[in-house]
Structures are given as structure tokens and as C-alpha cells.
């Protein structure tokens, strides 16, 4: 019995440690290596290999893995966005998904937008492989979707050109100065009365979760912690004239969906 328990504990530890090492190597570790090699200068330098290498994209984009990373709150968060889009009148309008995301968020958002009358869903991402992968996942919406390589901090999209803009877990991966630019751009491209749906991490309300979350950010995603305070998106959005914000938090406040409405 004791031996069986020890073997199991050892096996679980090895699996968890290998998974952590795998993700560290392909996220923060890769950025550290780029920094040492002086290769952090181009526009996509902050993007992890798991989002740029097609083999890795295909390996990781598996719903159970993605749900587990978001502590099984993924579906709840997407549902908040979907319910919002279901209530919007998008008849003949264009909506934007700013940056691809793994799992089923893009198909669910696209379906909700089409159900609300949208004529086109544009997906924009800085990495062409992500767009190609997204297009393969969304063939069923082929006539209603378009894909454009674009940078969230300097979008090619015209002012006031979309009625809704969905940004799902992009901000925590951007350096702080770029977070502000991305929010400004996200609001610029919205038409008056249009809505920005922003899914992100949030400061947990319980100290245990806060300690675990803090450790996670320090090790894997150092740009994410500032969302708790100095770069809380709601602070920036509410400082914009006339912008109204709602914040929905889930799982002891560990995650949030912000809905920001541009003044009509
Ligand atoms: C949305 S975030 C991560 C989402 C989340 N972790 C997931 O996939 O479940 C990852 C995406 O953002 C894209 N991205 C990163 N920086 C970007 C930028 N400046 N402009 C547009 N897309 C960007 C990456 O290429 C990648 O497709």
C-alpha cells in the first residue's frame, strides 16, 4: 500500500513537473532566450512559440488542456461574451476578434454574432500560422469570416468600422506599454454604441488563490500581474470620455469579462 502510494505520488509529480517545464520552455523561457540573444525587437517578439509554430499550435489547441489552464472556467467566460453578443443587434454589421485564441471561443463567438445578424466576422492576429489554424477550425463559417494579419497595437482597421470587438486573453501577454495601446486601438475601431468584450485574468479574492496566481504569473507570464492594479483595463477604459464599463468576475474573482460600451 505504502509502496503503491509512493509510486503514484512520484508519477504525478513527474507528470506535473514535466508539464510545467514544457510550458515554461515554450513561453517565458523562450522570451528569456530571445532577450539574451537580443531578438526582442520585432513586432511579434513577445509572442510565445506555442502561438507561432504550427506543430505546437496543433498540439496544444485541445479543449481539455485549454479549459484546464483556465481552471475549467473557460466555458463560463465564453458564455458571458456569447450572451452579450446574443443581446446585441448586429444586423448587417461587422464584428472583430482581436487575436486568435485556442479552444472553441472563436467558433462560439462567430456563431453568436451570426445569430444576432452580423454579416462578417473578421479575425485579426499578428501571426499568420494562428490565422491559418483558426480558418481551418472555422470552415463551417467560411462565407461569413475573413482573416487578416494585423497588430493589435496599431490596427489597419478603419475608425468606427466594427460593432463589437472580442479580445480573449491577449492583454496579459502584452508588455505594459502595449496593453494601453491595444485598449486604445480596440476602442478606436468600434463604432459609436459598439462594445468591447475583454476576457482576462483578475486579482483573486482569496489569499490562497492569490498566492498561487501570483506564483504562476511570476514564473510563466510576468506581463500579467499588472492587470491586478496598475494596468487594470477598467481604469483605462473608464478614463475614456463617455465609455461605460461592466465587469463580470468568476471563480473567486480569478477571471473577468469586461464589457465596455463606446458612447453613441
Ligand atoms: C489571445 S492570446 C492567448 C489566448 C489564450 N491563452 C488561449 O489561446 O487560450 C494569443 C494570441 O494572441 C496573438 N497576439 C499576440 N500579440 C498580438 C498582437 N500584438 N496583435 C495581434 N495578435 C497578437 C498571438 O499570435 C496568439 O494568436
Does residue 97 have its Cβ closer than 6 Å to ligand 1? no
Confidence band of 21 (pLDDT split at 50, 70, 90)? confident
Asked whether residue 106 falls in the same domain as residue 11, the answer is: no
Q: What CATH number corresponds to the domain at position 105?
A: 3.40.50.150
140 in the same domain as 32: no
Q: Are 257 and 77 in contact (CB under 8 A)?
A: yes
pLDDT at 37 over 90: no
What does the pLDDT look like over 95-134, one tens digit per residue?
A: 999 999 999 999 999 999 999 999 999 999 999 999 999 9
Which of 11-20, 54-63, 125-134 is predicted with the least confidence, judged by mean pLDDT? 11-20
Q: Using alpha carbons only, what angle is made at residue 68 by residues 30 and 51, rounded to the nearest 5 degrees?
A: 30
Q: Are residues 91 and 4 in the same domain?
A: no
Residues 6 and 86 in one domain: no
DSSP codes of every residue in 83-114: HHHHHS--TT-EEEEES--STTHHHHHHHHHH
The answer on 149 and 31 residing in a single domain is no
DSSP secondary structure string, 147-186?
EEE-BTTB--SPTT-EEEEEEES-GGGS-HHHHHHHHHHH
Q: What is the pLDDT of residue 1?
A: 63
Structural domain of residue 242, as residue ranges? 43-261
Q: Does one domain contain both 186 and 103?
A: yes
Neighbours of 84 (CB within 10 A): 20
Model pTM score: 0.94
- Ligand 1: distance of its center to the CA of 122 in Å? 15
On whether both 55 and 37 belong to a single domain, the answer is no
What's the domain count of the chain?
2
Q: Take residue 38 and report the three cell numbers written for it.
A: 537580443
Q: What pLDDT sits at residue 22?
A: 84
> Which atom of ligand 1 lies closest to the CA of 153?
19
For ligand 1, the distance from its centroid to the CA atom of residue 166, given in whole angstroms, is 12
Please tell me the predicted confidence (pLDDT) of residue 204: 98
Based on the fold, state whether residues 110 and 10 are members of the same structural domain: no
* 201 and 211 both lie in a single domain: yes
Measuring from atom 13 of ligand 1, which residue has the nearest CA?
Answer: 99
Q: Which residue minimizes the CA distance to atom 27 of ligand 1?
A: 100
pLDDT for 72:
97
Reported as a single tens digit per residue, the pLDDT across 156-186 is 999 999 999 999 999 999 999 999 999 999 9
- Helix (H, G, I), strand (E, B), or coil: what is residue 194? strand
Q: What pLDDT does residue 26 have?
A: 83
Residue 53 has φ and ψ, to the nearest 5°, of -90, 120
Neighbours of 114 (CB within 10 A): 18
Amino acid at each position: 500500500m505504502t509502496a503503491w502510494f509512493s509510486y503514484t505520488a512520484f508519477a504525478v509529480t513527474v507528470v506535473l513537473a514535466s508539464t510545467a517545464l514544457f510550458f515554461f520552455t515554450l513561453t517565458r523561457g523562450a522570451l528569456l532566450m530571445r532577450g539574451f540573444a537580443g531578438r526582442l525587437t520585432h513586432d511579434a517578439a513577445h509572442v510565445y512559440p506555442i502561438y507561432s509554430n504550427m506543430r505546437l499550435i496543433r498540439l496544444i489547441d485541445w479543449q481539455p488542456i485549454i479549459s484546464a489552464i483556465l481552471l475549467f472556467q473557460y466555458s463560463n467566460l465564453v458564455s458571458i461574451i456569447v450572451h452579450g453578443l446574443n443581446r446585441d443587434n448586429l444586423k448587417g454589421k461587422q464584428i472583430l476578434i482581436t487575436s486568435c485564441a485556442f479552444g472553441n471561443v472563436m467558433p462560439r463567438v462567430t456563431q453568436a454574432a451570426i445569430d444576432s445578424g452580423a454579416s462578417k466576422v473578421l479575425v485579426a492576429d499578428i501571426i499568420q500560422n494562428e490565422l491559418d489554424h483558426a480558418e481551418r477550425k472555422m470552415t463551417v463559417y467560411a462565407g461569413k469570416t475573413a482573416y487578416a494579419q494585423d497588430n493589435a497595437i496599431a490596427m489597419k482597421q478603419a475608425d468606427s468600422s466594427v460593432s463589437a470587438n472580442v479580445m480573449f486573453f491577449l492583454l496579459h501577454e502584452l508588455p505594459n506599454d502595449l496593453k494601453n495601446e491595444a485598449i486604445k486601438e480596440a476602442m478606436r475601431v468600434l463604432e459609436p454604441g459598439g462594445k468591447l468584450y475583454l476576457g482576462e485574468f483578475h486579482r483573486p479574492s482569496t489569499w490562497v488563490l492569490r498566492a498561487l496566481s501570483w506564483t504562476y504569473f511570476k514564473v510563466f507570464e510576468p506581463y500579467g500581474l499588472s492587470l491586478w492594479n496598475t494596468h487594470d483595463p477598467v481604469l483605462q477604459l473608464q478614463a475614456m470620455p463617455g465609455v461605460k464599463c461592466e465587469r463580470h468576475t468568476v471563480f473567486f474573482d480569478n477571471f473577468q469579462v469586461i464589457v465596455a460600451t463606446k458612447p453613441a
